Amino acid sequence: MGEMLVLGGSASIYLAKSISESLNARFAPLDTKIFPDGEIYVRIPINVDGKDVIIVQSMYRTPNFFLIELIFAAETLRELGARRVVGVIPYLPYLRQDERFKPGEAVSAKIVGTMLGARLDKIYTVDAHLHRIRTLKEIFEVEVINLSIISELARAAIKEFGLNNPILIAPDEEAEQWVEKAAETLNCNYIVLRKERIGDEEVSITGLERITGVALIIDDIISTGGTVAEAAKLLYERGAERVYVSAVHGIFVKGAEKRLFGSGIRGVLTSDSIPSPYSKVSIAPLISNILRKEL
């Protein structure tokens, strides 16, 4: 790979700067603003002609805005002569709608995959939310590297919360893939709970008779906090002494923190794929290491 530049999208400026420092590459933030009518303005602030450009943009809370910003930037980089455009998208949205459940629905996962794949030469993401699809190759035409920070999060949670041999909990069947990896890392037992979705924000959690000691819930995403909060309530009802949670992507929307701590959860730990007061595990080393090896 030739001269490397790292551009920070407006969602991930600090993360992009951390990655650039690790790679010893030049860094610049995108020049982005909103016009009075709501349209977005994007400008590439440095010369990219003939250079390899890594653009970092995690798409959370306002994914439509960050998606359009990334598309505008990637297309412009190509027009300006960038030799290669690589996307680092730690939180990759729209993966839940990976099939048509009702007639006429947009399969957003495939649409977003097509939009990004047409403009990026390669994509790196972190613990993508895969449920019905087995691999991102099913929705992207370009190579997508799906990294995992779960092992680092599990070890950090043990240290952060002062835990000793906790029982690991997957709050639903979808989370089993992450709790299994955490259990291998920590050499702990784990339990997978069952979830029934009642509405967009209401769930019922079952699947536990009795538990003793301290529980650590492992999941990939905390959005509204409903699933994790209901899991914590069940754990306390069944005898848990204390409950903590560690997740990759902490979106924390619609009163999520109130739900989490109102359920009795004693501590929350996430990665910095999405910045928050709980994002104490950086994904920058994970991303930098593989970029250094592969690019």
pLDDT in tens, 24-37: 999 999 999 999 99
Q: Is the pLDDT of residue 6 over 60?
A: yes
Secondary structure string (H, E, C) spanning 159-210: HHHCCCCCEEEECCHHHHHHHHHHHHHHCCCEEECEEEECCCCCEEEECCCC
Give me the domains of the chain, ranges plus CATH numbers. 4-148+282-294 (3.40.50.2020), 150-272 (3.40.50.2020)
* Rounded CA separation 12/55 (Å): 9
DSSP secondary structure letter of residue 282: -
Give the confidence band of 2 by pLDDT, cuts at 50, 70, 90: low
C-alpha to C-alpha distance for 186 and 254, rounded to whole angstroms: 32
Residue type, 31: D
Between the CA of residue 23 and those of 5, 79, 287, 291, 293, what are the distances in Å?
10, 25, 10, 8, 11
195 is catalytic: yes
Q: Average pLDDT over the chain, rounded to whole?
A: 95
Tell me how far apart the alpha carbons of residues 143 and 157 are, in angstroms, rounded to a whole number. 32
Which comes out higher in pLDDT, residue 96 or 192?
A: 192
pLDDT, one tens digit per residue, over 41-85 is 999 999 999 999 999 999 999 999 999 999 999 999 999 999 999
Give the per-residue pLDDT at 200: 65
Mean of pLDDT values over 202-228: 93
Task: Put residue 116 in one of left, alpha, beta given phi > 0 → left and psi -120 to 50 → alpha.
Answer: alpha
What is the value of pTM for the model shown?
A: 0.94
Where do runs of H (alpha helix) occur along the chain?
A: 13-23, 63-79, 108-117, 150-161, 176-186, 226-237, 256-262, 284-294
Reference 226, options 197, 206, 267, 249; nearest CA is 197
pLDDT in tens, 168-202: 999 999 999 999 999 999 999 999 999 888 776 67
Please identify which of the residues 33, 195, 233, 280 carries the catalytic annotation.
Answer: 195
pLDDT of residue 16: 98
Cβ atoms of residues 14 and 3 within 8 Å: no
Contact assessment for residue 53 and residue 77, using Cβ atoms and an 8 Å cutoff: yes
Phi, psi of 199 (to 5 degrees): -155, -170
Convert the pLDDT of each residue in 108-157 to its tens digit. 999 999 999 999 999 999 999 987 777 888 899 899 999 999 999 999 99
